[in-house]
Structure 1
Amino acid sequence: MGKYRKILVAVDDSPTSMHALEEAFKLARCEQCWITVVSVVPAYEGDLGMTAFGNVVEAFRAPYEKALAEAARRASGQKVLVKPVCEHGEPFERIVDLAEAENCDLIVMGRSGRRNFQRAVIGSVTARVIGYGQKDVLVVPPQASIGWSNLLIATDGSRFSKIAERKAIEFAQAYGAELHAIMSVDLPAEFYGEAFEVVERLVQEAKNYLLQVRDLGERSGVSVKTAVREGIAADVILAYAEEKKIDTVVVGSHGRSGLRRLLMGSVAESVIRASAIPVLVVKS
């Protein structure tokens, strides 16, 4: 049984967004759900009087309308029904609002190459959609494929992570997936020398918590492989994902740091920024 009923895919004229759209088609077939495709025309900030060389505003809109037409063409070729929508305004606001209006429960977005994303991640549309929206967001890196057969839930025990844990278990149950759960213990270097017993205690607490996650999975008929690693959380998560050939990483939207909604949570942000595989950010 699918876990998402309606998917919203945000596109522009970039290859990365079209790749995410193609992957969303695959997901829609698996989930047997509907797709709404949106392209948002940002507010035109030029001089509306400068129209000597044609309709400047129409020319500004053209790439976004072209992206929608291309999305419809690709959908037709794959026999996927989509609803194209062209919006105007602040992109992240229009995407978040449309997801609510269309009652979508998942937003799929492409991610630019690592170098560009690292340079402007906080100001990116993707980051703001995650930070301000209430819907789950699946971020698809270039050339990555969406898969549910080998999943990793990265948790810190926060209430946001608990929501993500349940969602990961639901997916593992629905797809018969192998599920891994990981926690990291990350302390300043000076802590290790001065209070090694503190590190040991934190590692044991993490192991005990993951036993609860494993028990939660077992109650749903899902076997959960657990791991505790020492190091920076995002680095630990990504290294483990590569080691275990994970298909998709599942994370909560915020960690214990309690950052403002704009920032989505530093660990989730760092994982999305550097991941070579899709990352599902669970919000509800």
Structure 2
Amino acid sequence: MTEGISTILVALDPGKSSQAVFQQALRLALFLKAQLIAISVTPRYEGNMHRWKIANADQQLSQPFIQCLEDARQEALTAGQPLRTLHAIGDPTEEIVHAAEQENAGLVLMGYPKRSTLERVFLGRTTAKVIGCSPCDVLMIPEHSAINFSRILVGIDGSRYSMEAGQRALELALAFGGEVHALTVLDIPLERSFLYGVLEEARRRSFPPLQTLAGQGERLGVKVTTEIVHGAPYDKIVKYGEKHHIDLIVLGTYGRTALGTLLMGSVVERVAAISPLPTLVVKRLGKNGVRDPL
């Protein structure tokens, strides 16, 4: 991941969580010596038949969005990090994804505010849609959290997408001197778990992907801890992160979905919505594919 990131795109809005995510984007850009671009999108005013029409609505509504970009510019100037700012009016998802494509971004950063347990069942619509549509990895940073790569948790289910996430986790751990925890969650219906050999077969199939990742970590000099648990994947991933003091969760997803959004209630969406930890969603491989040190 770190080798392929020359441009970081951070999405900002007037909220406090956005200010916090810019500070994290600034830290990361300085460390990676990457170009940093900040975008803020004013949702287009469509008017309301029950209210008076607002004259120059787009201009008035844009002021706080433009101001948050100016605040970011001043902060970047103080830190010595060049910053380019983009302001757009329209659909936030479309504009953020378009900017990521046009700027050939290697990573999109988004923040979201701390919410109640009920509100956190699902991600906000814009965040979920950006994950689904983004051409590159998306790093989501909840309010009051910070980016750290010391202890990285990656969900492994044996699919190509989860193995790509595993590669990202190894690359990050190697670059930042961290360790990787690879977790497989067996989600077997209760009624099937009583059948003879079902659990044993599921565990047997889960070992090779974990062993592959552990072997790659050993060759790279990265510590990899593996574990297999039973239950709902999103719940077990979040609880493992809390129990083992994880700093970052890494998950794979199926590229761009047919509808350009996450499936409602997917593991990725639920983990990102519920966990208090930053979550990196891996969308594609680097130019040279999965890096295997052999």
TM-score, length-scaled by structure 2: 0.87
In angstroms, what is the RMSD of aligned CA positions? 2.4
The gaps in structure 2 that reach 5 residues or longer are 285-294
Matches within 5 A, 1:131-142: 131-142=132-143
> More displaced, 269-278 or 161-170?
161-170
Distance in 2 between residues matched to 1:247 and 1:71, nearest whole Å: 25
Distance in 2 between residues matched to 1:105 and 1:7, nearest whole Å: 6
2:84 paired with 1:98: no
Counterpart residue number, 1:171: 172
- Residue 171 of structure 1: how far off its partner (Å): 1.1
The secondary structure found in structure 2 opposite 1:262 is: coil
- Residue 134 of structure 1: how far off its partner (Å): 1.3
2:39 paired with 1:20: no
Distance in 2 between residues matched to 1:230 and 1:254, nearest whole Å: 23
Counterpart residue number, 2:238: 238
The secondary structure found in structure 2 opposite 1:45 is: coil
Matches within 5 A, 1:218-229: 218-229=218-229
Counterpart residue number, 1:263: 262
- Residue 37 of structure 1: how far off its partner (Å): 0.2
2:230 paired with 1:205: no
Asked if structure 1 preserves the Cα contact closer than 8 Å seen for 2:107 and 2:138, the reply is yes
2:11 paired with 1:10: yes
Aligned residues: 279
**CA shift in 2, pair 1:35/1:201, >3 Å:** same
2:169 paired with 1:160: no
The secondary structure found in structure 1 opposite 2:145 is: coil
Asked if structure 2 preserves the Cα contact closer than 8 Å seen for 1:114 and 1:274, the reply is no
Counterpart residue number, 1:282: 282
Asked if structure 1 preserves the Cα contact closer than 8 Å seen for 2:121 and 2:273, the reply is no
Counterpart residue number, 1:149: 150
Distance in 2 between residues matched to 1:217 and 1:45, nearest whole Å: 52
Amino acid corresponding to residue 183 of structure 2 in structure 1: I
Counterpart residue number, 2:125: 124
2:195 paired with 1:190: no
**CA shift in 2, pair 1:186/1:119, >3 Å:** closer
Asked if structure 1 preserves the Cα contact closer than 8 Å seen for 2:42 and 2:92, the reply is yes
2:247 paired with 1:252: no
Amino acid corresponding to residue 181 of structure 2 in structure 1: H
Asked if structure 2 preserves the Cα contact closer than 8 Å seen for 1:39 and 1:85, the reply is yes
TM-score, length-scaled by structure 1: 0.90
Counterpart residue number, 2:81: 80
**CA shift in 2, pair 1:24/1:117, >3 Å:** farther
**CA shift in 2, pair 1:227/1:261, >3 Å:** farther
Counterpart residue number, 2:288: none
Distance in 2 between residues matched to 1:270 and 1:120, nearest whole Å: 6
Asked if structure 1 preserves the Cα contact closer than 8 Å seen for 2:35 and 2:82, the reply is yes
Identity of aligned residues (%): 34
Amino acid corresponding to residue 245 of structure 2 in structure 1: K
Residue by residue, what CA displacement relative to the aligned partner does 1:157-216 show, whole Å, maximum 9, x if unpaired?
111112111111111111221111010001122222x31520122122212321111112
Asked if structure 2 preserves the Cα contact closer than 8 Å seen for 1:114 and 1:273, the reply is no
Distance in 1 between residues matched to 2:276 and 2:220, nearest whole Å: 29
